[in-house]
């Protein structure tokens, strides 16, 4: 479906540890640990939300995750 190579579907098995650990994984840059800037793009026709993350400090941590709403 999605044409973008960078998109991956969310798998909850990837998250481990307690809620603090999960939040840290989701909200911080892999490279420098700075908070990521998140943006969400909703596609209600396909019932998905595409989340994009980018580090404001080093420009790394680019990530796109598709959330399926159901
Ligand atoms: Zn960074």
State residue 4's pLDDT score.
53
Q: What is the pLDDT of residues 23-64, one digit of tens each?
A: 766 778 878 888 888 888 888 888 888 888 888 888 876 677
Question: How many angstroms separate the alpha carbon of residue 36 from the centre of ligand 1?
Answer: 8
- Tell me if 31 is assigned to some domain: yes
Residue 49 included in any domain: yes
Biggest alpha carbon–alpha carbon distance for the chain: 36
CB 62 within 8 A of CB 4: no
CA dihedral over 16, 31, 40, 1, signed as positive or negative: negative
Domain of 42, in residue numbers? 7-68
Predicted pLDDT of residue 1: 52
Answer whether residue 1 is part of any domain.
no
Instruction: Please indicate, yes or no, if residue 2 is contained in any of the structural domains.
Output: no
How many domains does the chain fold into? Answer: 1
Distance 44 CA to ligand 1 centre (A): 31
pTM over 0.85? The answer is no
- Report yes or no on 27 lying in a domain: yes
How many angstroms separate the alpha carbon of residue 45 from the centre of ligand 1?
Answer: 33
Is residue 62 included in any domain, yes or no? yes
pLDDT tens for 7-26 read 666 666 655 667 777 676 67
Under a CB-based contact definition with an 8 Å cutoff, are residues 58 and 1 in contact?
no
Rounded to the nearest angstrom, the distance between the alpha carbon of 26 and the centre of ligand 1 is: 13
Neighbours of 40 (CB within 10 A): 10
Whole-number Å distance between alpha carbons of 21 and 17: 6
């Amino acid at each position: 479906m999605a044409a973008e190579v960078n998109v991956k579907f969310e798998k909850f098995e990837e998250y481990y540890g307690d809620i603090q650990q999960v939040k840290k994984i989701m909200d911080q840059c892999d490279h420098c640990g700075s908070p990521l800037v998140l943006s969400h793009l909703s596609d209600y026709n396909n019932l998905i939300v595409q989340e994009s993350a980018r580090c404001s400090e080093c420009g790394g941590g680019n990530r796109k995750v598709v959330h399926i709403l159901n």
